[in-house]
Each structure stands twice: as structure tokens, then as C-alpha cells.
Chains A and B, each alone.
Chain A
Amino acid sequence: MAGSEEVNLIESKTVVPLNTWVLISNFKLAYNLLRRPDGSFNRHLAEFLDRKVPANANPVNGVFSFDVIIDRQTNMLSRVYRPANAGPPPSITDLQNPVDGEIVPVIVFFHGGSFAHSSANSAIYDTLCRRLVGLCGAVVVSVNYRRAPENRYPCAYDDGWAVLNWVNSSSWLKSKKDSKVHIFLAGDSSGGNIVHNVALKAVESGIDVLGNILLNPMFGGTERTESEKRLDGKYFVTVRDRDWYWRAFLPEGEDREHPACSPFGPRSKSLEGLSFPKSLVVVAGLDLIQDWQLKYAEGLKKAGQDVKLLYLEQATIGFYLLPNNNHFHTVMDEIAAFVNAECQ
């Protein structure tokens, strides 16, 4: 066993810059400690280890942020990121000034972490959201959804839905052109999964979502796909840990055919005929769950939906966390183009 572990470590080191390798290996190590074999999660240690940053109403690199308690009863919190105007920093009363533009995209963002890790104020996601603001000229609303295993399906989806409603009805987020909020959903890993499910609900309820952006979205199923077998343990992720997170998120007793895990599996509803938002699906070629992600994109296509698949052959998970590789820039460009296409 030790021998193959060594090979795996060496392999993953050849495909990412060293500091990326250190970063993702650090997460891998920490996450291994936090997942207990009995299905419980060391939440205290998780919160202790997670590197967080405060919101900052003083603009940094043209972006400022603030936190909003959307629902006092449930402490439902989101972090809002906005482009800064020239001039003095926004005062506390300026934070929710109406957006300034004919068409201003609002991206509702769901951070990753396999449903169990990270928060809206985790440093890695605060950084990513700030980038999206500049990239797309957008307001970004990062949802601090409830996590597994303490809060299983459908809590994360419910929280996403609550924030989508709040965004949709916030007058200060309405674009001048048509007095409507121009909404996109975006997320990585479990966040990508949440995007799909919140979009489903939006379609059913008549809320207009202009586009879905899924970065390495987390999907699965009961069978072991070829990519899972081929890439197991080779690039930071194992099938075993994937299984753990599904067991933690899905209702007790459920298996991975559950539609939350497998949106185009035997138990899910068809999307045919629905006006589902157009999707940008980004798949990393060294992600072991890529077969599920490709199946997702394929499923959308077969159901007559608009989907663009971006397959990055040599990318691993987390490539979008550091701007030190070409995949990062490729994806950022695609996201910008995807969002801006609606804003002509």
C-alpha cells in the first residue's frame, strides 16, 4: 500500500505548481483528520483549521464586501461583494445603494467543500468571489449554507433557495434596463450541485435564472465509473472520501441513486421541455468523478438544454483557487464571456 501511495504523491506533484500542491495537500490532510469512520465530523477542529477572512467595506482591488443576515430567526447569512465606485469608501448607509448600470449581473455563489467543509467567509472562497466581481462586473452574493453531516439534504438547497428569493426581490439589485434582477448561479464542487438543484426549483417556481456555472460539480451514483477506478487516490481525492461525503449529505439510509447525487440517474425527473437556464460545466480531466460530470452535461444536452462543456485535460481539483496556471485563466475568461453574453 505504501508503495502505491508514494507513486500517487509523485504523480500529483508533476501536474500542479508546487504551491498549489502544498495548498491542496494541506486540505486533503486536514479533511482526512476531520472525517471520522463512524460518519461523524470533527466540526470544532474544522472551524479551528479553516482560514477565514472578514468582510471589508473598504475597497480592496476595486471590490468591497459586507455580510447580511437575511433571516434573523435562522441566522441565514450571505456575503455580498460589489464593485467599488471611484471616490470615498461606501459608508454603512451606502452598502445597499441601487446597482449602477443598465444591466448588472448578480451571481449567487455556492462555495464548495463537499457539503461539509468551508464557509462563505473561508479565505479561498472570499478570494474567488472577489475575482468574479471584477471579471464580470457583477455583484456576487455568497451563500453561507448549512453543512453536512449536521444538516443533511435538503438543507443546503433550501438555504440556496431562500437566498435566491431574497436576491430576486431586492430592489437595490435590479438592473435599470428592465427593473429586474439579472441572476446567475455559480458554484464549485458541492456548490455546483447546489446550483443545479436551486435552478430546478427556480424553474418550477417561475424565478428567472439567466445561467448556471458549475465548476467541478459534485455528482455521483452507485456504480463505479471508469474514471473513478482509474484515478482513485491519484490526484488528492479518493472514492472512499467521496462515499463518505455522500453518506453525510444524503438522507440516512439513502444510496447514491438519490436524485440529489445523481440528477440523470434512474430516480430523477426529466428536464425535457423545461426552460432550464443555460449551463457552463467545467470538468477537470484529473478529477476522479469526471464521468459523472460528463454524464451530467450529456444529460442536459439530451434533454434539449443549452450546455457548454469545458473539459480541461490536465487540471486537478482546486485549480481555480490560485491564479498560477493556464486553466485558471481559461476558465475565468469563459465565465466572463458566459455572463457577459446576457448583458449585451
Chain B
Amino acid sequence: MASVPRLCLLLSIIPTILILCADFACCNTGRKTGDGLDTDFSGFSVPLEHSFEVDDVSRFRMRGALQLRGGRETSVSLSQSQLSEEDRNTLKEVAAVDGLYKIRVPRVSLTDRQTERQMDGYLTAFVRACSLVESHLSDVITLHTDVSGYLIGVSIVTIPGACRGTEVEDEVDLEAFNTTLTIIPPTNAPQPETALFIERMDIEHEKRGKPQEQKSFFAKYWMYIVPLVLFLMMSGAQDQSGGGAANGGGR
């Protein structure tokens, strides 16, 4: 990675760097959604602007252009220019007074390009200028989208993130950004795992072996009941005959 900026130093525009594909969790039907989509989302670019001023009043300037590609697989790439001599000095001055380095992107929708509805306003984020300088302009910019593909937030961090007060001598280190760009859609929160739980319970039951089938009362004690009943029937028959006789007598 480190060699890439070196190679491209001659070019004024460095196309970098990252593309992260984030699958939306909804299932893929397997059928290609067609070229129509691709042409629709063949990419549009939005400006990425930054501001760093000694007096902390925001004056946003162009930093680069974000190439956004919406659709089933959202991706983003960034092309940005180098920092000019003047900018480098300003950035160092801002870092010296513990000022902020701010970036902003306009609010756009990644999917809803047809309507071409221009939403007003920007999404803004900041990082301490000193940490940007000390990290030699290695920043991580993250774009967050909501469920329907609107950009809702942007964040910038530098790696490393701390300000230790180390001087950055080499001017070359402050010329080009080493940007990692990601786009993060919302994650789907899990549902209660009922099916799996029941399955697991069933397996456990099976493992334990089939429990003794509950025998009915009769099945268990038939050897006692049958003789008893037989005995009762025998004696009952005697009684009945006696009773019948008595009845007959009464009539």
C-alpha cells in the first residue's frame, strides 16, 4: 500500500483506495438485476470538502470527489488531489494551535437517483488537525447509510489517533492523503432464535435417548387387576344369582 502513493506522486490526481462491498442483507434472488441498474448507478460523484483554519471558522474547500455506486452492492471510491504547499503550512499551523480538521459531504441518496432530489445540507465530521499531521495524513473515512440508502453520517479518524506532539519534518509526508474509505449500511438486528432452539432441544432429547414411554395404569398393573376383576366377577356372579333369586321372591 505504501508504495502506491510514491508511484503516483507524479500524477496530480491519485485515485485511491478502497472499495468495500457491503452486501445488504436481503436475499439475492440469483437473477442479475440487469444492466439497467448498472447504468443507473454507474456512479455519480459528490464532492468531499475539507476545512482547516487557524481561527476555527469553517471555510470548506474541495478535497476530492467521492465516486459512489449504489444498487445491490454499494461501493465507493475516492479521487483526491494533493495538498498544496499553502495548505500544508496551514494544516501545520492549525495543528500547532490544536485546531480541528473538518470534512463534509452533501446529503445524498445512494439508491434513489431517479428522483434526483437534492437534499439540502451537509454531513460534517472532524478530527484534531494534530493527529492528522502526526499520522502523516492516514485517515479512515466512513460513510454511514440508513435502510433506504440515504447517507446519514460521515466520520473521520486517523490511525494512530493520538497527538503526541511529534514533529513531522518530512514535507513529503503531508502531500498526499492515505485514505481508507468504507461505507457502512445498517446491520440487521437479530430476531429471537426460536427455530434453532427447538431444534437443539429436540436433538438433546434424542441424545438422551427416548424416555421410557409412560405406560398406562392398566398396562403396568394388569397382572394384579385381571385376577382381581376375575375374582370379583366370580363372586359377583354368585351374588347376582342370589340377588336375582331374592328379587324373584319379592315379586
- Answer yes or no: do A and B interact: no
